[in-house]
Amino acid sequence: MVAQTGGMVMQHFPVAANTCYELGIAWSYPATLNAHAGFENKENLQLGGRSAKIDAPAGVLHFCTDKLGSVLITLSSITPAGPIANAELLEYAVVVGSWSETPEQTAARRKEETEKAAATQAWMDANVARANAREEADRKERCHRCDEDYRACQVNASYRRSHPARGVSFTESCESKFTSCSFGGEMFDRRETGKKPCGDPPR
């Protein structure tokens, strides 16, 4: 039995090398359990550990290890009304089962995990590349608009200087407008000093 007051229960326990574990977890209230096994020995291949979303009243969290070490089991529950209150006592019955892997099983598991990790990384890289491409396209479109607005501002400023209105002083800064435009109209204190997303104003 593991128990803890708060929105989350955490429990450390040791693990052996080349061993698979199944944690049978049961609880008595209507909630969905988020269970996670995080490896504290970074030599284990599954650096992110293993997670499972388990419906009441019970379920299993499965993971395997490469090296001797320990894991941190984290259990948190979500009820239909939302997260468990921080002052509530959470109690779980936990049964641990384990079995040793053969060298062949360990090699096959490592290969599968490496392939999954590579596929996940490739998916993340592709998403980042697409996001960067969209950002670059947006920047080019914005900078083109900034260039056009700057040229129009220069023409307007030149006309106002040549034809000043009585009692009106000309204070418009086309350079400031261009800089603000190049950052998407963000406030000055949010910009990174020295950066020029659209380069210098056109001449």
Cβ–Cβ under 8 Å, residues 181 and 139: no
pLDDT of 171: 63
Strands 69-79 and 32-39, sheet pairing? antiparallel
Residues of the chain with pLDDT under 50: 47, 191
DSSP string, 14-78: EE-TTEEEEEEEE-SSS-EEEEEEEESSTTSS-TT-EEEEE-TTEEEEEEEESSSEEEEEEEEEE
Alpha-carbon distance of 100 to 95, in angstroms, equals: 17
pLDDT of 186: 62
pLDDT of 127: 97
Instruction: Give the total residue count for the chain.
Output: 203
Which token pair is 54? 């388990």
pLDDT of 203: 81
Q: What is the pLDDT of residues 39-51, one digit of tens each?
A: 876 666 554 578 8
pLDDT of 29: 84
